[in-house]
Amino acid sequence: MSKILRIAIQKKGRLSEKSLAIIGQCGIKFGSDERVLKERATNFPLEFLYVRDDDIPSYVHDGVADIGIVGRNELDEQGLELAVLRDLGFSKCRLSIALPHDVPYTGLTSLEGMRIATSYPNILRSILAENGVKASFVEVSGSVELTPAVGIADAICDLVSTGATLAMNGLREVEQIYTSTAVMIGRKTMDRDEKRAILERLLLRIDAVMKAASYKYIMFNLPVEHIKAVSDLIGGLKSPTVTPLLEEGWVSMQSVVAEDRFWDVFEQLKALGAQGILVTPIEKMTE
């Protein structure tokens, strides 16, 4: 039987859609209408296992799946020895300490002796220990934000993305202790695994998709005298493409620009007399 790589993906939740989207952008085809528990890609040796996110680290650790996509928070909380193959960047959130509005806070030491409700006792314990703070934990698996109001905790430590849930529950975020994004994980011994070749093919595609997402393709017209200045400004994969325009003294230039530099570059191009600036997303990209 030919080798197949198994990936564990969250069945339903905050990670599911984006995990499948990134695999889809890799040109891998799959998808029954109703989400089954297990399915095979039709054009790549990949099999999907749809499971709860809490189970993903142990599935990968025990070899039920070869790789998985999970929040870094879940991985660190469980503390299993696994390799982070790629940081996929989505489902960004932070683990924060939050308190009722009337409880004063001057730093982590303010938590001394408090009862803190959390679903992340291991991460919290290590951070409090690093700071020499002693507190007791109330371990809950959901609705953490409710615990101060019902009197079973003095503070909470929970994941936050927009902060709306804290606000709705009369809590204020006082300290971010940890940040998380979705990561692709694998076993540390996978280097010697015969499925490694399939994984390498997948990672090559994922890198191209992620790289493309962090760049824009940009085209514009420019007075010839500014070619050098613009070229120094934007670089490009090798160097920008320059094509003459029929109108004398003008060229058309094309290049890629990193998303995080985009507005800066855009303003400087305008200042150098660039006209007709067109910007498009890039679907795939390698250097």
Contact predicate 116/135, CB 8 Å: yes
Of 106, 98, 103, 141, the residue nearest 121 (C-alpha): 141
Of the residues 85, 124, 128, 159, which one makes contact with ligand PRT according to CB under 6 A: 159
Of the residues 14, 18, 35, 261, which one makes contact with ligand PRT according to CB under 6 A: 14
Contact predicate 83/103, CB 8 Å: no
Q: Does 54 bind Zn ion (CB under 5 A)?
A: yes
Nearer to ligand PRT, 3 or 52 (CB): 52
Report how many residues bind ligand PRT under the rule CB under 6 A.
21
Of 163-192, binders to ligand PRT (CB under 6 A) are 163-165, 180
Compute CA distances 221 → 55, 216, 250, 272, whole Å. 53, 17, 7, 11
Q: Does 9 bind ligand PRT (CB under 6 A)?
A: no
Report how many residues bind Zn ion under the rule CB under 5 A.
2
Compute CA distances 263 → 231, 239, 267, whole Å. 16, 20, 6
Nearer to ligand PRT, 119 or 255 (CB): 119
The alpha-carbon radius of gyration of the chain (Å, integer) is 24
Q: Does 78 bind Zn ion (CB under 5 A)?
A: no
Instruction: Determine the distance from the C-alpha atom of residue 35 to the mean position of all C-alpha atoms in its chain, rounded to a whole number.
Output: 23
162 binds, among Zn ion, ligand PRT, none (CB under 5 to 8 A by kind): ligand PRT
Q: Does 54 bind ligand PRT (CB under 6 A)?
A: yes
Q: Smallest distance from the beta carbon of 13 to Zn ion, in angstroms?
A: 7
Cross-strand bridge partners of residue 257: 216
Q: How many CB atoms are closer than 10 A to CB 51? A: 20
**All residues at 6 or more sequence positions from 268 whose CB lies less than 8 Å from its CB, including other chains:** 233
3-state SS, residue 231: helix
Q: Smallest distance from the beta carbon of 71 to ligand PRT, in angstroms?
A: 2
How far is residue 165's CA from residue 176's CA, in Å, rounded to a whole number?
Answer: 15
Nearer to ligand PRT, 9 or 208 (CB): 9
Of 56-95, binders to ligand PRT (CB under 6 A) are 71, 73-74, 91, 93
> What strands, in cross-sheet order, belong to the sheet with 241-244?
241-244, 250-258, 215-223, 275-281
156 binds, among ligand PRT, Zn ion, none (CB under 5 to 8 A by kind): none
Q: Does 77 bind Zn ion (CB under 5 A)?
A: no
Of the residues 53, 66, 154, 158, which one makes contact with Zn ion according to CB under 5 A: 53
Of 194, 199, 201, 204, the residue nearest 1 (C-alpha): 194
Nearer to Zn ion, 55 or 154 (CB): 55
Of 91-130, binders to ligand PRT (CB under 6 A) are 91, 93
Q: Does 158 bind ligand PRT (CB under 6 A)?
A: yes
- Return the structure tokens found at 229: 């200045």
How far is residue 115's CA from residue 113's CA, in Å, rounded to a whole number?
Answer: 7
246 binds, among Zn ion, ligand PRT, none (CB under 5 to 8 A by kind): none
Q: Which residues bind Zn ion (CB under 5 A)?
A: 53-54
Q: Which residues bind ligand PRT (CB under 6 A)?
A: 10, 13-15, 52-54, 71, 73-74, 91, 93, 158-165, 180
